[in-house]
Each structure stands twice: as structure tokens, then as C-alpha cells.
Chains A and B, each alone.
Chain A
Amino acid sequence: MPRLIRRIRKARWTLQAWLGEGELPSDVFLDLNSKDNTLSLWLVEDDNSNLNRVLAAMAAQGSPDAFDYAVLDKARLEACGFVLERVDGATPDSDANRQWHFDAKQLSTRLLQVLADELKNGIQDRVSPASVKKAVIESIALGQLVVDSMPQRARWEL
């Protein structure tokens, strides 16, 4: 079952005690800030074999930080009307960009609402900053991440 992941800030989704049953806080849309009505998603293999690599690729775009993400069922999204297209990503891992990056295109506000509900159900445990850093360093050592393509700040902080 192919799955897609999106990086979020978990605190926006889970810490509001005042919410009613089945409701989502409006701040979750900060994690769904589409550009050109498009959102970036990453494909994770069934056996999670590429999860650390995808995580490292995304993390290498910025400073070391905690990594919160949610998992989505690709087939379920497509059934809901999402247009999912494989498009090269922009991380410092060019192979990961080519293999596993998807865009969810032609998003409407209705689909964003659906996506928010799906993300809420797929929120995963947090990956700590130290684990994120370790994954990035391992990915560099394996030649997956091109250090020169990483932002200067990310290189410096590593």
C-alpha cells in the first residue's frame, strides 16, 4: 500500500484542549500552505526502507530541528479526487527527488480540508533533533545528499 508523508508541526494539530470532537484547529492550515494550488508530498516504500533517506533529504533543506510528519494513504487520496503527480523535488538528494517526490496538484479548499483530516489521522511519533541530524550525516556519508547543494546555514549547523 503506497503511502505519502508530509512534514508538519505536531503542536498545531494535537495540543488544543478546547477543540470539539472531530474538529481541527485552524492553525493546521499553516502546514498546508499551498503554492500554485500545489503541495509537496513524499512517497514512502511499504517496508519503510526509504523513510530515513526521505526524512534526511527534507531535513537537509534547513537547520537541524525536531521532525514531525504525518502519513497518508496514496490510494485513498486518489479516491478522494486528489491529483498526485510525480515531480522532481528540490532537496539536496537528487535521486530521492527523482524517485519519491510527488506534488498534490489542483487543490481546492475542499480537498485541503480532506487532506487536513487525513493528516490528523496519520500523525506519527516525533523524530528528535539528534536523530534527524544523525540521519542527515549518514545520508551524506552514503553519498545520497550533496553537501554543496545544502543551504549554507544547514551545512554550518551540522
Chain B
Amino acid sequence: MSHSVELAGIEMIFGAVRAVERFSATVEGGEFFSILGPSGCGKTTVLRLVAGFIQPTSGRIVIGGKDVTEQGPHQRPTSMIFQSLALFPLMPVWENIAFGLEVRGVSKAQRRRRADELLELIALPGFGDRMVHELSGGQKQRVAIARALAVDPEVLLLDEPLSALDLKLRQHMRAELRALQKRTGVTFIYITHDQSEALAMSDRVAVMNAGKLQQIATPRELYANPATSFVARFVGETNEFAGRVRDVANGLAAVETRHGMLRGRAGPGVKSGVEAALYVRPEAVSLSVGAPGNRIAALADRLEFEGAVAMLHARTNDGAPVLAAIANRRLDEAPLSGGPIQLSFAPAEALVLAHG
């Protein structure tokens, strides 16, 4: 099993900027762990701290049970894939892949053999003598992965490596990365601002905002039970109704909103009297009249067909947007735009989170 990575109370201060605030997380050996957040949230800083390019202002970094906080990037059992890939343009592909071995004094014949093996692994056999500029975006991507894997790292650090690829290729590479991770058993720490990427590939996801860790959870948990309002808004589409909590009973909170009393599961720290917001996913919102639970009157605005579902954009009485996902096979029942509709959702499908 590959090494685990333990971050204990990491803080990173650049001058007056607190890039990372008291970040603690444990990445299990062999896990595909993503750090998700908007740009500038400090996620890349966390990755560079794990790689050893920068030293934390305070806190410890432990890899495989060994404290590496003071070690440089070349002493750690990590290998990084850069956002720009940073392949060496003046070397042929095989020398790129074998660069880490060249550094370790491996003989040329062995280097070449290992490079060819890795080219097999990334499904680019015979590409060893090409130059980097002759490769397509996806091929460069795979060469960068092979180069990082050539040194047999315990932990692979990936800094948004798919961001330069087009959508189709990105989706393909997602699957490939995931499969490669399972096959090699290497611990992956993957940085991304694309929530669908994080949800699709990861065993667990850490969500960051403004230097602070928001939540660490499995993708399903993250989607179903966001711990903070930031996570609720950032991961997936959601509807938000702000208000004040009237009372909490049996794990359900009643929130007084401008659309009347709405009920949902009470999140952490939700008690009567606090300012809070109720979050409900578009797919939990239904159009059926007479359904039990929360009801909101709205005007249908427009219907956006997305393939598997159609997204109904509606407006509440005071103009706030509401989204409802309508399954393809029920499209015939969809309302005409401009018409008044009743939206409803079950309290169990909604979550109430305190502000902050």
C-alpha cells in the first residue's frame, strides 16, 4: 500500500496574505483524494506544500509516517504533475519520461527500457523518439503522467492537469486517470476547481474556500450533506432560500422565509432563532400538485433541455430564481413558460445550514 499523507494544522502566510489557514487532513494510502475550490482558494498552495516547493509557516506534513516538513521537493516520495505539464521541450519523449531515473544515475539502457514500459502503460508505445511538440494535448498529458510515475512515487500530486484539454478529452482522461490510479495503487492528491471532475474521480474530496477547509467527505456525502453553505452552493446546482429558523424538532428545522415556512433537515449548529438558509437540489424539486411537504408558488420562465434532464428555470413571487430538474420522460407535463406553477419538495431532501 502506498504512503498516507498527513497534514496537521498547516498554515501558510505570504506577507499579509493568509493563503492557507489551519488545514488538517489525512489522505489514506492508495486513496484518490481531491482538493476542490474556486481559483485563489489556496488549494494549489496546499499541493506545493505537500510537494515541498514551499515550507509552511506552521504545522507538520507527514508522508508515510515520516515527518517531511523540513525536506526539499527532491527528498520527498512525491511526484508532481504541473498544470502546464512542464514537459522538457528539448528532450525526446523517452528522455522526458526517464529524466527522474537519469538523475538517480540509472544506466541509459535501463532508462530506455523503463521509458518504453511506461509508454506501454500510457498506451503510447513507440512514441519514445518523438519530440514533445509533435504530441497532441492528450498525449502530452499522458507523457507527463508517465514522467511522474517513472520515479516510483508513493504520492502523485496533480495540479489541475486536465484544465487545458477540451471537454471530450477531459472526460476520457478522467476515466484513464482513475483507472491508472487503481492499477498503480499510488496515492493521488488531485487539485481542481471543476466540481464534476472531483466528484467523478475521487474517493474523497476536500472543499476549500478562501484558505479555509470547508469539508472533507466522499463525493456522495458532499453532495447530499454539505457541511457549510459554501459547499452547498459550490458543489452541484442548488436552490437557496434564506430566512430565520423558527424551531428545530426531530432533526427537522422550520425556516421562516419570504415564501412561507419551509422545512428541511437541520445541519450542524442549526437552532431556533439563527439566520440560516434552506438548500434543495433541483432534482428534488417536483412539479406535482398535491405532493406533501414544502410548497412554493412560482412562474415558469424557460426550459433548458440538457439531454438526460431538462432544467426548468422559474421565478418565485419576489423574482428569486428557482431551478427544477425534470426527467426527460416527463417533459410532456412541463409547464409553458410564463405560466404559474406549484413547486414542491420533501423536507428530507432539503438541508438547513446556518450562515457563515
A binds B: no
